[in-house]
Structure 1
Amino acid sequence: MNNSDGPVWPSIAAMTESAAERFADRTAIVDGGERVTYERLYAEARGFGAALVAAGVEPGDRVAIWAFNCREWIVALLGLYQAGATLVPVNTRFKGREAADILRRARVRVLVTVTEFLGNDYVAMLRDTGEPLPDLHTVVIARGGPSGSAVPWGDFLARATGDDLAEVDRRRAALGPDDPSDVLFTSGTTGTPKGVLMTHRRTMGVGADWVSMTGLSAGDRYVMVNPFFHMFGFKGGILACVAAGATMLPQPTLDVDRVLGQVAAERVTVLPGPPALYHAILEHPGRGRYDLSSLRVAVTGAADIPVELIRRVRDELPFSAIITGYGLTEAGTASSTSPDDDPETTATTVGRPRPGFEIRVVDASGAAAAQGEVGEIVLRGPTTMVGYLDDPGATSAVLSEDGWLRTGDLGSLDERGCLRIAGRSKDMFIVGGFNAYPAEIEAMLLEHPGVLQAAVIGVPDERLGQVGMAFIVPREPGLAEADVLAWCRDRMANYKVPRSVRLIDELPLTESGKVRKNALEARAAAERSG
C-alpha cells in the first residue's frame, strides 16, 4: 500500500469489512484469555454500531472513548465507524474536568469508558466535576463495575435490533473518504488542547503508509504499548493492523515484565513504542530470561530520541528493522528512516519524507534555511489535517491555503534530504544571543557513562537572559552534579553547558512517553520563588 496513491477503501468501515473477508480466520486480537478472529471482530463492531444506531446516534455524531488499551476499545472504534460516527479519544491521564472540557467542546453524544483503571472511576470523575454536558446522552461502561446511570457493555449491545443492523449496512455503504473520521485533541502539555479534525481518507492514509513503512503483514503479531487515544496507537496501531491483517495484543499500561512475557509466549514480531519503552527493556535486569528472538520491527519517534538509545537497541536487541520517524497529530507520519539505512542515519535522523510528503526547513522570515541550519519544519502531504475543530483562527495560523503546515518543531536537512530534529520551538532557549536546543544537549548528556536519562530546559538568568538546567536520572548512585558540569564543559560549547544540574529518580512523562517539560519548568520556577 502506497500512501501517495491513497487507501484502496472508501472508508474505515469498508476497510474493516474487507479485513473480515480477507483474514476471516486469522486472530485479530489477543487480550487476556480471549482470542478474537477478524470475522468475529467485524461482527462485534457491526453489533456495536447497531447499538449506537439504537441509541439515536446519527452519521457525523461524535463518540468518545476514554479507556485503556483493550479489546473493547478496538470494537468501539471500528463499530462507531459502522454507524457513520466520528471518534473523539480522551487521554487516560486526564482528570474529570479536563475530560469534561473535551466532551463539551466536541459535543460528544456517547462516551465509552471504564470504571476501574489505576484506581480511577472515570464515570464518577466526570460526575464529580458538576460540569454540564448537554450533548452527552449515553455513557457505556466497557470495563469495570456499575457507576450511576452508565450502561454496562453487554446491556448496551443488547439494544441493537435487526433494523439497526440493516441501518448500519446502509450507513457503511454511504460513508465516503472525505467524511469526518476523528477529532484528536493535541496533548495539551502546554496551553489548551486543540481538536485536530481528520477525514477517512487522511486517517486511513496514515495506517496504510505505516504498513508500507514497516512491511506489516498478516503474519505479524503486534504488541500495542502506545495508547490508543494517541495517533501512534490508533492509526499506526489499530488501523495499520486491520489494513494488514496483523494480530493486535493491546497493553493497558507499560508493564515491561508483561510485555517481555508476551513477546516470548506469543512470538511477537512488531514492538513499536516511545523511547521510554526501549529504555525500560534495555535496563530490565531479567531481560535475558525471555526469548525475544521473534522480534522483527522496532519503530519509535519523538523530538528528543536519544542517539545512544537507538545505538543500544540496534546492538543489544534482535530487531532486523529499526525505524525512527517523525510525526504529529496534525499530519500523521511525515518522515522515516528505512530498514536498510546505516546505523548512523537511523540514530541521528528521522529520515526522509514519506510518499506524498514535502518537508522544508525555514528561517524566521519564512525563507528556506541553509543546508544544515536549524529552522522551523514546515510540511504538506496527503494526511495533513483538515483544520482545528471550531477554531479557524488557530487553523489559519499554522495551515496555509495551499496546504503547508507550520509544525512548531525545529530541525535541519542534511545533504541527503534527511531530517534532523532539534526540538520544539517553544523549548529552544537563547543563551547570550546563541540558540540552544534541548534535544541536542540531552543527546550529548546521554554519552556520559553515569547518565541514564536527561531532560534540559531553559531558565531565566540575569546576565545571559536564559541558561540551561539539566534534570538527570543517574545510572547508579554516586553521580555528582559538579562532575557532570565539568564533563559538559570539556565537550560542549560554553552556551550549551547547563548552568545547573538536578539529580532525580525519574523524569515526568506523558502517557505517550514524552517528557513533560512543563512539569520540570514548574519545579524550576518553584525553586526560584522558594
Structure 2
Amino acid sequence: MPEIIYESDHRKPDVLPECSLWDYLFGNESPLQKFDKSLPAYIDGLDGRTLTRGQLEESSLRLVSGLRALGVKRNDVACLWGLNSLEWVRTAYGCMAAGVTVSPANYAYAAHEIAHQVNDSGASVIFIDPSLLPVFDAARKELKRDFPNERVILLCPPEKKPKELAQYKVFDEVLGARGQPEHFPGQQSRDTAWLCYSSGTTGLPKGVMTTHNNMTSQLQALNIGYQQLVSGRDKVLGILPFSHIYGLTIVHFQPFTVGVPVVVLPRFEEISVLSAIQKYKITHGLIVPPILIILLNSTNVDKYDLSSLRTLMAGAAPCSPELTESFNKRFPHIALTQGYGMTECSPTTHVCTGEEVEGRAGWIGRLLPTFQARLVTEDGEDAKRGERGELWLRGPSVMKGYHNNPDATEKTMAPGGWYKTGDVLIIDDKGWYKVVDRVKELIKYKGFQVPPAELEGILLQHEKVADVGVIGVWDEAQATELPRAYIVAKNVNIKTGADRDALSAEVAAWLAERVAQHKRLRGGVVVVEMIPKSPSGKILRKDLRVRAQAERDAEVQLRAKM
C-alpha cells in the first residue's frame, strides 16, 4: 500500500532562509528591520519596565564581548536557569548573538536534575536566578566540570543583587563594548541553536538539538498559519515558562517577529495575571488547560476588566470538548483555540485561529505549512481519513536529533526522515486533526512531561521499595494527569491499612524531596503485592491503568452510597 502523505493547505513560505536565528531577527537584510527600534518588545508585567527592540539588540551585542572576555566561544553551551524575566530574555538574545547554544532549564529542577542537564549538554557557563544558587551548590558534587564564580551569572537587575552574593556578577555587570554577532550561513544554519530537554518514556530527559534553520522555519510557518497578531494592536501574555519549547517559540519569539510586545510574568499566579490583563490591555494569551480550570472557577475574574482579551490558545496537553464548551459559556468574548506540537518539532505542527474554532471543540487544527504528515497504524499501514493512526511528521522544523544519544534518535525516526510522535490522531475530510490516544507512556501533568521510568528508577533507591510501576491517572477537577506509583514493599511489615497509609506517605514525601514539583506523586502511592510485567520483564502499564480505573469506579460507587 502506498504512503498517504498529507500536506498543509496553507500557502508555503516563499523562501526558507539559511542563516542564524539572530540574523533572521536582527540582520541587515531581515524583513523585521521594518519595525521601529523604539517599539516595546518585552514589558515586565510586575514593575512595568520596558525593553525596546533597539535596547534588546544593544544589550545582546554587548553580551557578545562580555562572553568573549570570559572565554566563552562560538558553539559553546550556556545553561539558562530561571523564571521568566527581562534578564532571561536579554540573556537568550545575547547568547544567540554570540553564537552560543542555549540550554534552558526548568526552574523547578532538583539538584540531580539540573546536574544531569548541565553535564549532558556540556554547558560551561550558567545564567541563574539567585534563589536557585542553593540548589546549584547542592548539584556541584555531581557536575563533571568546575564552575568558577565568573562563570555563574545572576539573572536579576543590579539593584536587586543580594549583598551576600557579592562574589557573583549580574547580567549587566558582564556586558562589555558592543561586539559583532556570529553568522551561520548556508549549511552552518544546521548548527544547534537551542538545546531544550524533553522527557522520554525511558531514562532521564534528552537534549533536543534545535538548529537555527529549525527555528527560523518554524517562525515562518507560524506567521503564515497563525495570522492573528497585529503590531500596534496586540499584546501577548507571557506566563508560560520560556524554558519550555512552547513558551520559548510561541510566546518568547513569535510575537517579536510580528512587532507585538510580550508582557512577561514569572509564572501563573491568578491575581497577577488578571491585573496584568487589565493594566496592559492584553489581547492574546497562550496557556495550558489547567489554567482554564482556574479561570473557569475563579471568584476573582469579575473584579477585573478582561474585555481586551480576544483569544486564548491552549497547548501542551489535550483540552476536552466539555472544558472548552464550559469556558466558552462563561467567557463568550474570548475565542479559545488549541494547538499541537512537541519539542522535537520546534514545537508547533498544528494550529487553529480564533476565526476557525467555532464548532471545532476538541480539535487541534490544521497542519502548518512546511510540514508533511502521515497517520500510521499498528501494522505499519497508512490510515485513511477518519481512521486512527500514529502521527508521523516531516519538515524543516524537525529536530537534528537527540544530543549525545544516537540510539534514541534512531528509535524515534523512521526511514524517509519521518519523526514518530507517539500520539494517535485522526484527520477529517477538511484537513482538521484530533488527538485520540497516545502511544507514548509519558505522563502529562499540567503541560509538563513526566517520564514514568525516571520516577521508577528513583523510587527503587528507597530502602522500603522492592518494585514499582508508575502511571498517570486522570483528575477531572484539574484537567490533567497526576503521577501515581504502585509499589511493592520491602523490609517492612504491612498488617493494617494504617501501615499502608504510613508507607505511602513516607514514599511520596521522600520522592518529593528529590524531584521537581511537577513530578511529585500527586496521584498517590498504592502498596500492592506485585507489579504486572511481560515475560521479557517490561512493566505492563496498561494493567495498572485498568486497576486505577477500577479503583476510581469503586470510589465513585462508595461516595454514591454515602
TM-score by length of 1: 0.77
Work out whether residues 211 and 217 of structure 1, in 8 Å CA contact, stay in contact via their aligned partners in 2.
no
Distance 1:262 1:520, change over 3 A: closer
Equivalent position amino acid for 1:218 in 2: S
Residue of structure 1 in register with 2:256 after alignment: 242
SS in 1 for 2:155: strand
Distance 2:36 2:172 in 1: 26
Distance 1:100 1:456, change over 3 A: closer
Distance 2:16 2:277 in 1: 30
Residue of structure 1 in register with 2:377 after alignment: 363
Residue of structure 1 in register with 2:331 after alignment: 317
SS in 2 for 1:257: helix
Distance 2:264 2:204 in 1: 29
Work out whether residues 214 and 396 of structure 2, in 8 Å CA contact, stay in contact via their aligned partners in 1.
yes
Residue of structure 1 in register with 2:57 after alignment: 42
Residue of structure 2 in register with 1:352 after alignment: 366
Residue of structure 2 in register with 1:305 after alignment: 319
Residue 104 (structure 2) pairs with residue 93 (structure 1): no
CA deviations 1:204-261 (Å, max 9, x no partner) are: 2223333331422322211111100011111111111221111111111111111111
Work out whether residues 62 and 108 of structure 1, in 8 Å CA contact, stay in contact via their aligned partners in 2.
yes
Distance 1:259 1:250 in 2: 10
Residue among 195, 213, 217 paired with 1:205: 217
Task: Give 1:37 deviation, angstroms.
Answer: 1.3
Work out whether residues 3 and 355 of structure 1, in 8 Å CA contact, stay in contact via their aligned partners in 2.
yes
Residue of structure 1 in register with 2:75 after alignment: 60
Equivalent position amino acid for 1:394 in 2: A
Distance 2:60 2:404 in 1: 29
Work out whether residues 20 and 38 of structure 1, in 8 Å CA contact, stay in contact via their aligned partners in 2.
no
Distance 1:88 1:355, change over 3 A: same
CA deviations 1:368-414 (Å, max 9, x no partner) are: 13443333221112211111111111111111342200111122223
Residue among 36, 43, 48 paired with 1:23: 36
Residue 340 (structure 2) pairs with residue 326 (structure 1): yes
Distance 1:426 1:113 in 2: 32
Task: Give 1:104 deviation, angstroms.
Answer: 0.8
Residue of structure 2 in register with 1:156 after alignment: 174
Equivalent position amino acid for 2:142 in 1: E
Residue among 106, 111, 126 paired with 2:121: 106
SS in 1 for 2:144: coil
CA deviations 1:292-339 (Å, max 9, x no partner) are: 111122111234212222223333325564321110000121112233
Task: Give 1:59 deviation, angstroms.
Answer: 1.1
Equivalent position amino acid for 2:293 in 1: H
Residue of structure 2 in register with 1:469 after alignment: none
Work out whether residues 375 and 383 of structure 2, in 8 Å CA contact, stay in contact via their aligned partners in 1.
yes
Task: Give 1:5 deviation, angstroms.
Answer: 4.1
Work out whether residues 376 and 407 of structure 1, in 8 Å CA contact, stay in contact via their aligned partners in 2.
yes
SS in 2 for 1:368: coil
Distance 1:528 1:266, change over 3 A: farther
1:426-505 map, 5 Å: 426-427=440-441, 453=479, 455=481
1:247-286 map, 5 Å: 247-286=261-300
Distance 2:55 2:255 in 1: 15
SS in 1 for 2:344: coil
1:184-195 map, 5 Å: 184-187=196-199, 191-195=203-207
CA deviations 1:172-209 (Å, max 9, x no partner) are: 48695323211111046863101110111211222333
What 5-or-longer segments of structure 1 have no aligned partner? 117-121, 430-437, 461-507
Distance 1:174 1:375 in 2: 38
CA deviations 1:403-444 (Å, max 9, x no partner) are: 200111122223333221123224499xxxxxxxx99x96xx
Distance 1:312 1:272 in 2: 18
Work out whether residues 235 and 261 of structure 2, in 8 Å CA contact, stay in contact via their aligned partners in 1.
yes
What is the total number of aligned residue pairs between the two structures? 450
1:367-378 map, 5 Å: 367-378=381-392
Task: Give 1:527 deviation, angstroms.
Answer: 6.7
Residue of structure 1 in register with 2:306 after alignment: 292
Distance 1:289 1:54 in 2: 51
SS in 2 for 1:519: coil
Distance 1:303 1:377, change over 3 A: farther
Distance 1:526 1:214 in 2: 51
Task: Give 1:6 deviation, angstroms.
Answer: 5.2
Distance 1:457 1:62, change over 3 A: closer
Distance 1:426 1:188, change over 3 A: closer
Distance 1:288 1:8, change over 3 A: farther
Residue of structure 2 in register with 1:471 after alignment: none
Work out whether residues 67 and 113 of structure 1, in 8 Å CA contact, stay in contact via their aligned partners in 2.
yes
Residue among 143, 154, 161 paired with 1:141: 154
What 5-or-longer segments of structure 2 have no aligned partner? 1-9, 444-470, 487-511, 532-562
CA deviations 1:134-162 (Å, max 9, x no partner) are: 275511011252548533223222xx24x
TM-score by length of 2: 0.73
Distance 1:456 1:339 in 2: 30
Distance 1:293 1:334, change over 3 A: same
